[in-house]
Chain A
Amino acid sequence: MPPSRPSTLIAELSYQCPLHCPYCSNPLEIGDARYRDELASDDWVRVFEQARALGVLQLALTGGEPMLRRDLPALCAAARDAGLYSSLITAGTLFSDERARALRDAGLDHVQISIQSPDPQENDRIAGNRSFASKIDAARLTRELGFPLTINCVLHRQNLDRIEEILELALTLDAQRLELANTQYYGWAAVNQDALMPTAEQLQRGEEAVQRFRERVGPRVDVLWVLPDLHEDLPKPCMGGWGRTAIVVGPSGDALPCQAATTIPGLELPNVREHSLEWIWTESDAFARFRGTDWMQEPCRSCPLGRQEVDWGGCRCQALRLTGDAAATDPVCRLSPHHDRVVAAREPARTDEFVYRAIRRPARV
């Protein structure tokens, strides 16, 4: 069966970032020399054109902090020329008036700004740097310049009780979308699980607050609420299915089916410097490895719930982390023989102290 067309390209332009969020999805090895050898502008332009020819519609310009790329306006212009809808995923601290106007003039379509908490001090403590005020300025500027605005906030034990304030802040800032993503435990978040894991009651209250807000405000603010996998009994279709809808390209050109796929041993990552995106999508072993349903083991292979093409086996990186086998059923599934490990991981956090994301690998891993 030939692969479906991808719809999303996630371009991680740089792993450099002024923030130190303890749940960052970037790899723990962000300081390695291979990640500092960033792609040239021409490489990205070629990748954008190849992505569109493959069928990609949406381009996420992310990182790290994508604003650290000085050629960002040129990349936005290339995205527009290629016919991609471009979103900038930024912490907002470098989103000055002059640079924001240059991005708008170049054809950037949409701006997404992260906040760590609606409380300034707490935001700055979680981010590991003083950034709240500049984030709010960036969000206001985004709207002044006519961009659609998304606010995103990664939720965990230390900010979930402020969910109503987060919702109100999004409304005040005239955000069109609010992404409330409960922490997923990969990368730096796995290191910080002891400080981040919420209680079931916090999640319950959070969901109720979101529901009340939706009823009150209506479609003016589109609120996405994503429960953490570990609190569910059936897996999510991670990345919409392996090699099915999305391509991630890292700063140095490695192409991955998901941001965390670098953790899977023996997965040889094709690089856009050596291969076309079409070859990577249709021919590479990395994208074919867990595509479709042929690779599945039991209990997925004879799934009694008929969910093979609903959740596509769930998350490979989570299966690896909790069972030691990347091809196992995602243990979030209640039918997995390892589901008890997921239940055990729901133990709420015991510490407030973070291991901050840093270019140097933390000693505790």
Chain B
Amino acid sequence: MTRPRLVTGARLRYDEVRAEHQMLVPEGVVRLNATAAEVLELCDGERSLDEIVSALSERYGGGDLRGDVVGLVEGLAQRGLVVDAAV
């Protein structure tokens, strides 16, 4: 995975009714915790995975978030919900 982006048609939003972050896709919804939503907001097909990791690490005081970010992105990629913009 070089430059992750959300699959075509995906929309991130906060659902006021259920008080949760969501990724809406054709005929489906992925419920997200606040951190996952932050990661996916950076998956714009422009930033590299490394850039996403450092942006978040900086935001959270320098901790290494690489494992968490890669785990989330790869997991969603296996379900076809995140794709590589570089391919």
A183 to B8, CA, bound (A): 29
The contact string, 1 if C-beta is below 8 Å from chain B, for chain A 35-68, is: 0000000000000000011110110000000000
**Which residues of chain B (1-44) have a CB below 8 Å from chain A?**
7-9, 11, 13, 15, 17-18, 22, 24-29
Tell me which of B46-54, B55-63, B64-72, B74-82 binds A: B74-82
Chain B CB within 8 A of A304 CB = no
A227 to B9, CA, bound (A): 27
Q: How far is the CB of A43 from chain B (nearest CB, A)?
A: 22
A5 to B15, CA, bound (A): 13
Q: How far is the CB of B28 from chain A (nearest CB, A)?
A: 8
Q: How far is the CB of B68 from chain A (nearest CB, A)?
A: 21
Closest to A60 in B: B27
**Which residues of chain A (50-105) have a CB below 8 Å from chain B?**
52-55, 57-58, 83, 85, 87
- Asked if A220 and B80 sit within 8 Å, CB to CB, the answer is yes
Instruction: Tally chain A residues at the interface, Cβ within 8 Å.
Output: 24
- Asked if B24 and A58 sit within 8 Å, CB to CB, the answer is yes
Closest to A112 in B: B26
A328 to B85, CA, bound (A): 52
Known: A57-B15, A57-B22, A176-B80. A146 touches B29 (CB 8 A): no
**Of A55, A146, A219, which contacts B17 at CB under 8 A?**
A55
Chain B CB within 8 A of A222 CB = yes
Closest to B15 in A: A57
**Of A7, A176, A218, which contacts B8 at CB under 8 A?**
A176
Q: How far is the CB of A86 from chain B (nearest CB, A)?
A: 10
A83 to B12, CA, bound (A): 11
Closest to B80 in A: A219
Q: How far is the CB of B20 from chain A (nearest CB, A)?
A: 11
Known: A5-B17, A57-B15, A148-B9. A222 touches B80 (CB 8 A): yes
Residues of A within 8 A of B26 (CB): 85, 87, 109-110, 112, 148, 150, 176-177
A220 to B7, CA, bound (A): 10
A7 to B29, CA, bound (A): 9
Q: How far is the CB of B75 from chain A (nearest CB, A)?
A: 11
Residues of A within 8 A of B77 (CB): 219
Closest to A57 in B: B29
**Of B7, B18, B29, which contacts A58 at CB under 8 A?**
B29
Q: How far is the CB of B72 from chain A (nearest CB, A)?
A: 15
Q: How far is the CB of B13 from chain A (nearest CB, A)?
A: 7
The contact string, 1 if C-beta is below 8 Å from chain B, for chain A 114-156, is: 0000000000000000000000000000000011101000000
Closest to B18 in A: A55
- Asked if B27 and A87 sit within 8 Å, CB to CB, the answer is yes
A5 to B77, CA, bound (A): 29
Interface-central residue, A87, A150, A219, A220, by most chain B CB under 10 Å? A219
**Which residues of chain A (1-41) have a CB below 8 Å from chain B?**
5, 7
Known: A7-B29, A177-B27, A219-B77. A146 touches B8 (CB 8 A): yes
Residues of A within 8 A of B79 (CB): 219
Closest to B8 in A: A148
Residues of A within 8 A of B9 (CB): 109-110, 147-148, 176
Residues of B within 8 A of A147 (CB): 8-9
A176 to B24, CA, bound (A): 14
A222 to B18, CA, bound (A): 27
Residues of A within 8 A of B27 (CB): 58, 87, 110, 150, 177
Residues of B within 8 A of A109 (CB): 9, 11, 24, 26
Residues of A within 8 A of B25 (CB): 85, 148
A109 to B24, CA, bound (A): 10
A53 to B16, CA, bound (A): 9
> Which A residues have a C-beta under 8 Å from some C-beta of B?
5, 7, 52-55, 57-58, 83, 85, 87, 109-110, 112, 146-148, 150, 176-177, 218-220, 222
> Which B residues have a C-beta under 8 Å from some C-beta of A?
7-9, 11, 13, 15, 17-18, 22, 24-29, 77-80
